[in-house]
Structure 1
Amino acid sequence: MQQVAAETAEAEELSLAERAYRAIRDRLVMLEIRPGAPINEEQLGQSLGVGRTPVREALKRLQYERLITTYPRRGTFATDVNITDLAHISEVRKELEPLACAQAARRATAADRAALTALRRRLEAADSRSSDAAELMHLDLQVHRTIYGATHNPYLEDTLVRYDNLATRIWCLFIDRLSDMAGHVEEHRPLIEAIVAGDPDRAAQLARSHVEGFEQAIHGAI
C-alpha cells in the first residue's frame, strides 16, 4: 500500500514538473520572461501553483536547452538572445526541418492528420486577426510542434523543438520590425497540406524554403 502511494506521489510530482517545464519554457520562448531577467524559483512556483521541487526540475531541463543560464554566486537568468546564433540555429534547421516534414508526411497517423487539418483551419481563421502577433506566434509554435510529433521519432522531435524555441526567441525580439509576420505564418498552410496529402518531397521543399525565408526576414529586420 505504501509503495503504491509512493509511486502515485512520484507520478504526480513528475506531472507537476512537466507542467512547470512547459509553462516556464513558453514564457522564456515568447520573451514574457525577458532575456537577462533573473529567475526566481519561489515566484515562479507561486505563479504556477506548484512547489519548488517541480520548478527546480524544470529549470534543470531549461538550462540544458540553453533557455536559462546559472552563474556561480550570482544566480539564474534567462539566456540573452544573441543574433549571432541565428546562423548556427538556421544551419541545423535547414537540414532537420525538411527531414521532419518529409517523415511526418510518411508517418502521420489519422489523428496527426486531423490535428494538422484543424491547425490549418485555425491559420485560415487567423488571417483577419493578423495584427495579433502573440496569437500568431503561439499558433506558429503549435504547428511546428505538431509536425515534429507526427514524425514519431522522439529524438528528432526533441531536437527540433529545442531549435525552434531558440529561433522563436529571435523572432520575438524583432517582431516589431518584421513587416510580414502573417505571411510567414501563412506559409504553413501549403506545408500542412503536403504533409496531410502524404507528399514528402513537397513537404521537405516547403520546409526548407520556410526556414530560409525566416533567416532572410530576420537579417532584413536587423
Structure 2
Amino acid sequence: MNAVKTAKAAGKPLKNMAYDALEDLLIRGKLPGGTMLSEAELAEQLGLGRTPVREAVQRLAQEGLINILPRKGLMVVDMSVTRQLQALEVRRPLERLLASCASHRANPEQRARMLDYARTTEETGAAGDGSQFLAIIKRNHALLEEASGNELIQSVMALVHARSRRFWFSHAQALDLKTASKLHSALLRSVSVGDEAESLANADRLVNYLEDFCRSTIAVYQHSGTASARPSSSNT
C-alpha cells in the first residue's frame, strides 16, 4: 500500500511504517468504527511482520483509536463529535502551553525549519492534497513538540493530536485544507520569531477553528441524515 511504500523509501523504522499505514487506513475510512481485526490480518494487509504491527497497535490503543479485547482481537473505536470535542477541550490549554514553550525555547535551526514548514504547509493546503497534508501536519506537530523542550508535553500532545487528526481528516474537504494550512502556518511563523503573545493567539485561533469545524459536522449530519455527508479530502 502507498503509505508503506512511501515509508520504506524514507527509511523509516518498521514500527513507524506500520503506525503510519494503520492511521492512514483509519483516516480514509478503510477501517470504520466497530471493525473487528487481528494482528495477523493487519500484518498480512500491510505486508509487514507481526512485531512492528503489534507495536503500532499498542500505540493506537494508547491514543484511544483501537481497543485491544483479550481473546477477541482488536476493535476500531467509533469516531464521534463528542469524543472530538473532548479532545479539543484538552487540546486548547496544551496547545497554548506548547506555543509558549516553543516560542521561548526553540533553537535557531528549529526556527528556520518552522519558516520553511510554514511555506510548504500553505502550498500543500492550496494544492488540496489531503494525503500529503496529513504527513506535513504530523511533521509540524513533531517540530513544535520538539522545540518545546518538554518531554511530557511531547508525549501528551502526541495523543491529543492523533485523536484530532483522525476526526478532522475523515471529514475535511479541499476548502478546509486551505483554511487549516493558513492557521497552522501562522502558528509556525509566530513561534519562529519568538512572539509569545501572537503564538498564543494563533493557538487559540487554530483550536477555535477545529471546534467550529467539529460542530459543523453535526449540522451536516442532521441535514443529510448520514455520517458520510462530508467526503474526505484525504481520499483524493
2:88 to 87, 90, 96: 90
One-letter amino acid matched to 1:209: R
Question: For 2:76 and 2:85, how far apart are their aligned partners in 1?
Answer: 21
CA contact (8 A) 1:29 1:166 kept: no
Equivalent position of 1:107 in the other structure: 105
Q: Which amino acid aligns with 2:213?
A: A
d(CA) in 2 for partners of 1:57 and 1:160? 19
Deviation at 1:187, TM superposition (A): 1.1
SS of the residue corresponding to residue 68 of structure 2 reads strand
Shift of 1:75: 1.9
> Match for 2:208 among 183, 205, 212?
212
Per the alignment, residue 173 of structure 1 pairs with 170
What is the root-mean-square deviation in Å for CA atoms of aligned residues?
2.4
Q: 2:160 aligned with 1:163, yes or no?
A: yes
**So what's the TM-score if we normalise by structure 2?**
0.76
The structure number with the bigger radius of gyration is 1
Deviation at 1:175, TM superposition (A): 2.0
Match of 2:133 in 1: 136
- 2:216 is matched by which residue type in structure 1? G
Runs of 5+ unmatched residues, structure 2: 1-12, 219-236
Cα distance in 2 for residues equivalent to 1:37 and 1:109? 44
Q: Which runs of 5+ in 1 are unaligned?
A: 1-14
Question: Structure 1 residues 201, 219: closer, same or farther in 2, change over 3 A?
Answer: same
Alignment of 1:1-222 (within 5 A): 15-29=13-27, 31-130=29-128, 132-176=129-173, 179-222=175-218
Matched letter for residue 210 of structure 2 = F
| Alpha carbons 1:174, 1:218 under 8 Å: kept | no
Report % sequence identity: 28
CA offsets, 1:22-74, max 9 Å, x none?
44345435545333333332243345554212322332232122111123443
Across the two proteins, how many residue pairs are aligned to each other?
A: 206
Amino acid at match of 1:214: L
